[in-house]
Amino acid sequence: MPSQSTDSSRHGRVVHTLNGDSRVDEPSRLNRYQRTLVMGAGVAVSFVLVLLTGVVLKSTVTDYVEDRYTDFALRQTHAAETQLWSSG
């Protein structure tokens, strides 16, 4: 528009009108809020995924250890029964 000029600033576009008023351009302000929201949501989703991965890994390791202990206990019981029958 011929009645307005714009200056680029660090925080957004400043629009100067013919009567000397200046204001921050609303789309640049909204763009900044949108970027902040998207980055914040990305951090939150990443954090949730890391927590979920940790819970799944802990569950997997716990199940593996439990299975190994069950196998060990069965082998010990079998060995004790075999020793009992062979000595008697």
Residue 18 DSSP code = T
pLDDT of residue 45: 98
Domain positions in the chain are: 4-87
| pLDDT tens digit sequence for 53-73 | 999 999 999 999 999 999 999
Q: Which helix (H) or strand (E) holds 58?
A: helix 26-87
For residues 5-26, average pLDDT: 58
Of residues 57 and 3, more confidently modeled: 57
Q: What is the CA radius of gyration of the chain?
A: 34
Alpha carbons within 13 A on the beta-carbon side of 85: 6
Residue 80 has pLDDT above 50, yes or no: yes
| pLDDT tens digit sequence for 17-43 | 666 666 656 678 778 899 999 999 999
